[in-house]
Amino acid sequence: REDGAVTTAVQALSRLPAAQVPAGEWSAAAAAANEALVLARGIGQVPLTTMPLAWVALLSAMRGEAASAITLGELEAILAEHPMGIVGVAASDMAQWTRGVLAATASDVDGALEHLGRIRHPTIGRSAALDRLDAAVRGGRPDLAQGWIDELSVFAAAVTAPWLAAVAEHGRALLSERDTADQHFQQAVELHGGGGRPFALARTQLAYGEFLRRGNRRVEARSHLRPALEVLNDLRAEPWAERARRELRASGVTARKRDVTTTGSLTPQERQTALLVSSGLGNREIAARLFLSPRTVEYHLSNAYQKLGVRSRGKLAQLNLS
């Protein structure tokens, strides 16, 4: 930023979510992707908007937000007009991942499997492994699930990645009979323990809790569902959080939905300006960071105030804008 290297800044910001999302830093990932998107649009580099759009769309889908479909449509239109080699492959696979999440949320099992099965990029395939395995099992394709599990296991052993081994154990649990499934779930939870991937752990705890509750082991189920729901609520991963709440209610525990702030009506520029204001930056600092004029920053901030129903920077800072 100090050297005015906007393109380099966009590329760096576009890569941050790949580490931040699995680490549970979804707010930081959303901020990085939005900032990259604002900068790329500001310099008129449409191809540079693809990965930021992909991350914005995926995060929105994982949070159950309707805006995901709009962002995804914009991304797919750009990909159709601008072939971009390996970057295009990655962005396209991210779009398939997002489509898969949206389909699964809508209980469209066949659609979820169709989209998730189209992922070609190995890294994205591993990142989306829990979604792919869940879709394959629910879609009646245990052979496909087993093939993905075998690939994960080989790669996990080669690079010493406990989190991948945990995902493979999760997959084995989904494919196994009751007694064996219990052992695989326990192993998956243990492997996730030191992995620094709270969302993946929460999803395994959710699946394990569902398994235990349906086996009439309600007390044991709650011990996994409660921590899973806490993480999912913190991340605002609403599709999975709602599943956890349903399971807890079925186990005899009341679980209320957490109130959240709706920011789907904000443009990327308004959202990024609001996020930076919430972090304590002044208008001139935001202008320098986004390569905008202070007057433009004030314009975006004023629009954000109106859409969010607040009138001050202090009130804005109290909202969950991620």
Burial label for 226, CB within 10 Å (0-12, 13-18, 19+), is middle
Q: What is the pLDDT of residue 259?
A: 54
Confirm whether 179 is domain-assigned.
no
Q: Are residues 99 and 209 in the same domain?
A: no
Q: Which of 70, 101, 127 is the last residue of a domain?
A: 127
Q: What is the pLDDT of residue 49?
A: 94
**Sign of the alpha-carbon torsion through 92, 96, 97, 99:** positive
Q: Are residues 17 and 44 in the same domain?
A: yes
- What is the CATH number for 306? 1.10.10.10
Q: What is the pLDDT of residue 271?
A: 84
Q: Which of 127, 145, 180 is the last residue of a domain?
A: 127
Confirm whether 153 is domain-assigned.
no
pTM for the structure as a whole = 0.83
In angstroms, the CA 180 to CA 229 distance is 25
Q: Are residues 105 and 211 in the same domain?
A: no
Q: Is 178 within 8 Å of 141 (Cβ atoms)?
A: no
In angstroms, the CA 272 to CA 289 distance is 11
Q: Is 131 within 8 Å of 115 (Cβ atoms)?
A: no
CA 174 to centroid of chain Cα atoms: 22
Confirm whether 285 is domain-assigned.
yes
Confirm whether 151 is domain-assigned.
no
pLDDT (tens, 9 = 90+) of the chain, 322 residues, equals 555 688 999 999 999 999 999 999 998 898 899 889 989 988 898 999 999 999 999 999 999 988 889 999 999 999 999 877 777 899 999 999 999 999 999 999 999 999 999 999 999 999 999 999 999 999 999 999 999 999 999 999 999 899 999 999 999 999 998 889 999 999 999 999 877 899 999 999 999 999 999 999 999 999 999 999 999 999 999 999 999 999 999 988 877 665 555 555 788 788 888 888 887 888 888 888 887 888 888 888 888 888 888 888 888 887 777 6
* Eight-state DSSP code of residue 47: G
Q: Are residues 204 and 297 in the same domain?
A: no
Confirm whether 254 is domain-assigned.
yes
Q: Are residues 234 and 305 in the same domain?
A: no
Q: What is the pLDDT of residue 262?
A: 55
In angstroms, the CA 312 to CA 317 distance is 9
Q: Which of 110, 127, 144 is the last residue of a domain?
A: 127
Q: What is the pLDDT of residue 128?
A: 97
Q: Are residues 253 and 272 in the same domain?
A: no
Q: What is the pLDDT of residue 8?
A: 92
Confirm whether 203 is domain-assigned.
yes
In angstroms, the CA 241 to CA 228 distance is 8
Confirm whether 139 is domain-assigned.
no
In angstroms, the CA 25 to CA 56 distance is 14
What is the span of the domain harbouring residue 59? Answer: 1-127
Q: What is the pLDDT of residue 190?
A: 95
Phi and psi, residue 117, nearest 5°: -75, -15
Give the chain's domain count: 3
- E strand map for 171-238: none
